[in-house]
Amino acid sequence: MSRDIYVVAEQRDGSIAKVSFELIGEATKLAADLDQKVYAVLMGADIKGQCQPLIEAGADGVVYVEDELLKEYVTEPYAKALTAVIKQCEPEIVLYGATSIGRDLAPRVAARIHTGLTADCTKLDIDPETKLLMMTRPAFGGNIMATIVCREYRPQMATVRPGVMQRIEAVPGKTGEVKELKVAFTDADMNVTIKEVIKQSHKTTDITEAKVLVSGGRGIGSAEYYKTLQELADLLDGDISSSRANVDAGWIAKDRQVGQTGKTVRPNLYLACGISGAIQHIAGMEDAECVISINKNDTAAIFDVSDLGIVGDLKVIVPKLIDALKKYKAAN
């Protein structure tokens, strides 16, 4: 009988991905509605030492698979390992982060165990009557939200966007069940040869981790104005982000996009410059601690979710903000 919620804990170089802790936090809420437990699944080489942080983050236990073939992420051995875990443990629900790894691994495992998969979810709930997992995701370019259920097959599986769910407070010293599952790998399971692993360093932060975001919409007028927004962001020790319109126009990279078809962010401060406030964008930033908006249109929808709204020309207001911050920093 299928039981419990399993979270696939993604790790690289022995470091657990932030989204894994977010999913454990969400899984604890879902498990409470089902009166079930939460287990993390950890795969890699020499990773047993990373089990305890997952338990302290809320998991009731960890199932781990260790093997040298799992040192670097390769689709085939990881798919084989996770398939073995699911077949042996028979979970009710399996959750993955909608990362490059999760999006590669989840559909392959779903095909092997003959179950459904809902990708890129932004909300998860348990139906109070049927106890089925309700998986909500954007559809038709983010114009509607679709809620999907998997009635007949198990486990119910979903990938969830990083930054959407909130991790719960860790409990240092929390204890839980840790068990190793042995998988019989063969040389044939490694169907690629890794010649070299080259790590790319990013000068900019992941916008889902930024404490301050200065976000530009169509109202900034051109790609060039992002240089001004970047100057403002630097003074605030933050980063820049964007609405979808500017990404589609080629003004800024896709990884800067906030919204249903971009990323969900929860910064301490979200400064929206020239953003009208389409529902798809608001869905990606409405949980920010403080939202300040600058827009010429005093009826712009962005003001409905703002803590402070400034009606005016951003190309007049932003330079004044920059000057004021420079003077403040010089005086302090």
Residue 208's pLDDT is 85
- Chain centroid to CA 154: 24
Domains of the chain: 5-189 (3.40.50.620), 207-331 (3.40.50.1220)
Cβ atoms of residues 176 and 201 within 8 Å: no
Lowest mean pLDDT among 79-93, 95-109, 181-195: 181-195
Say whether pLDDT at 96 is over 90.
yes
Q: Which of 10-14, 83-87, 198-202, 223-227 has the lowest mean pLDDT?
A: 198-202
Phi, psi of 113 (to 5 degrees): -105, 5
Query: Omega before 155 cis (within 30°)?
Result: yes
Instruction: Summarize the annotated binding site as residue ranges.
Output: 218, 243-244, 257-261, 274-281, 295
Among candidates 103, 118, 101, which has minimal Cα distance to 155?
118
**Residues near 106 by Cβ (< 8 Å), separated by ≥ 6?**
8, 96, 117, 119, 157, 159
CB 233 within 8 A of CB 240: yes
Mean pLDDT of the chain: 89
Q: How confident is the model at residue 204 (pLDDT cuts 50, 70, 90)?
A: low
Burial 208-244 (b: 16+ CB within 10 A, else e): bebebbbbbbbbbeeeebbebbbbbbebbebbbbbbb
Rounded Cα distance between 221 and 161, Å, is: 30
Looking at residue 137, its pLDDT comes to 87
Confidence of residue 142 (pLDDT cuts 50, 70, 90): low
pLDDT per residue as tens digits for the range 235-255: 999 999 999 999 999 999 888
Binding residues for FAD: 218, 243-244, 257-261, 274-281, 295
Residue 42 in contact with residue 69, Cβ under 8 Å? no
CB within 8 Å of 276: residues ≥ 6 apart: 217, 218, 219, 295, 297, 300, 301, 302
Q: Does the pLDDT value for residue 298 go beyond 60? A: yes
Amino acid identity at 6: Y
